Amino acid sequence: MNLIFLGSLGGWEMVAVVFIILLLFGGKKIPELMKGLGSGIREFNNAKNAINNEIREGIKDAERKSVDEPKN
Containing domain of residue 35, as a range?
4-68
Residue 28 dihedral angles phi and psi, to the nearest 5°: -80, -25
pLDDT by residue, tens only, the chain of 72 residues: 455 655 677 788 888 888 888 888 888 888 888 899 999 999 999 999 999 999 999 999 988 888 877 665
Q: How many domains does the chain have?
A: 1
Where does residue 30 rank: exposed (0-12), middle (13-18), buried (19+ CB within 10 A)?
Answer: middle
pLDDT at 70 (0 to 100): 66
d(CA 22, CA 29): 9
pLDDT at 7 (0 to 100): 62
